[in-house]
Amino acid sequence: MSARTAGLVACRNCGQVHQIDTARCKRCDSPLQSRDAQSLQKVWAWLIAGIIAYIPANTYPMLLTSTLTDRSESTIIGGVIELVDYGAIGIALVVFVASVVIPVGKFVAIMYLAISVQRGSYRNQHGRHRAYDVVEFIGRWSMIDVFVVAILSALVQLATIATINPGIAAVSFALSVIFTMLAAQSFDPRLIWDADRTIHD
């Protein structure tokens, strides 16, 4: 039995339960919706936008480092390889995980959730819900790369001796993270359980 079948709708913001035909939450005034009909569309739209933004984030330089003697542009993967070359495996791993594994994992996870909901799959509903929670939680931490670039750019501005400037990839990466977060947010987790009900009703 779900809230919908009981003629109720819960506010996604504060949790207050209303009659199903109530338009706005009496407590927090946010719009109430028993099921978001366009949820999956939004998920796909944001997800595609995030994937598109993720391409330049990897092909264009993330950091423009110019020192007195040198001037280098490093992409994300280039930077990771450089770090490995220097022997800093740990840092390389952190960067690789934060910049590549997590975003790509999020794309995959969201895609999996969206497809499974579309197909009306009822398997492993608990696991999928947990995956959704993880994606939502981890989303904000993906910005760590962008923050590093922003802080470095602000700190290392020593005129001609050494300067670090953000590259196009930094903006693209930030957009990609934002789009992915929006995609995750657009996903209505209640849809996971709707499939289950369809089968059992």
Partner 1 sequence: MTDTPPSGPAPMNIRPAKTPVMQRLALVWIVPIIALAVSLGAAWQSYSDRGVRITIAFDNAAGVQAGATEIRYRDIRVGLVEAVEFDEGLSTILVHARVDQDIAPYLDADAQFWVVRPDVSVRGISGLDTVLSGVYIEGNWNTTADVAQTNFTGLNRPVLTRANQRGTTILLQSDNAGSIAAGAPVLHKGLEVGYLEEPQLNFDGSGVVVQAFIEAPFDRRITSSTRFWDVSGFSVSFGAGGVALNVNSLASLIEGGVEFDTIVSGGDPITDGQSFTIYSSEQVARDSLFVDPSAEVLRVAVLFEEAVTGLVRGADVRFQGIRIGEVSEISAIVVGEGNEAEVRLQAVLDIQPSRLGLGADATADAAMTLLSDFVQRGLRARMVTGNILSGSLFVELAQIEDALPAIMARTSGRYPVIPTTESNISDVAATAEGVLARINALPVEELMNGAIDMMDSIERLVDSDDTRAVPSSVIALLDEARGLVGSEDLQAVPAELRSVIAEIDAIVASANDADLVTSLDNVLAVAASAIGNIEVATRNLPRITAEIEALTIRANQLELDALVTSAASTLDAIDAFVASEDTRALPGSLNGALDELRAVMADLREGGAVGNVNTLLASANAAARAVEDAVSTLPELSAQAGRLVAQSETVVASFGERSRFNAETLATLREIQAAANAVSALARAIQRNPNSLLTGR
**Would you tell me which residues interact with partner 1 (CB under 8 A)?**
38, 41-42, 45-46, 48-49, 52-53, 55-56, 68-71, 175, 179, 186
What tokens were used for 155?
Answer: 């700190």
Question: What is the residue-wise DSSP string for 159-201?
Answer: TTTEEEEE-HHHHHHHHHHHHHHHHHHH--THHHHHHHHHHH-
Distance of CA 192 to the CA centre of its chain: 19
Strand order in the sheet with 63-67: 71-74, 63-67, 162-166, 157-158
How far apart CA 126 and CA 34 sit, in angstroms, is: 20
- The residue among 10 and 49 lying less far from partner 1, judged by its C-beta, is 49
Beta carbon of residue 127, minimum distance to partner 1 (angstroms, whole number): 27
Q: Shortest gap between Cβ of 165 and partner 1 (angstroms)?
A: 17
Among residues 41, 39, 191, the alpha carbon closest in space to that of 129 is found at 191
Is residue 47 within 8 A of residue 107, CB to CB? The reply is yes
* Closest to partner 1 by CB, 18 or 58: 58
**Cβ 52 to partner 1 shortest distance, Å:** 4
- Residue 90: CB minimum distance to partner 1, A: 28
Question: Residue 74 or 116: which CB sits closer to partner 1?
Answer: 74
Q: Which is nearer to partner 1, 59 or 124 (CB)?
A: 59
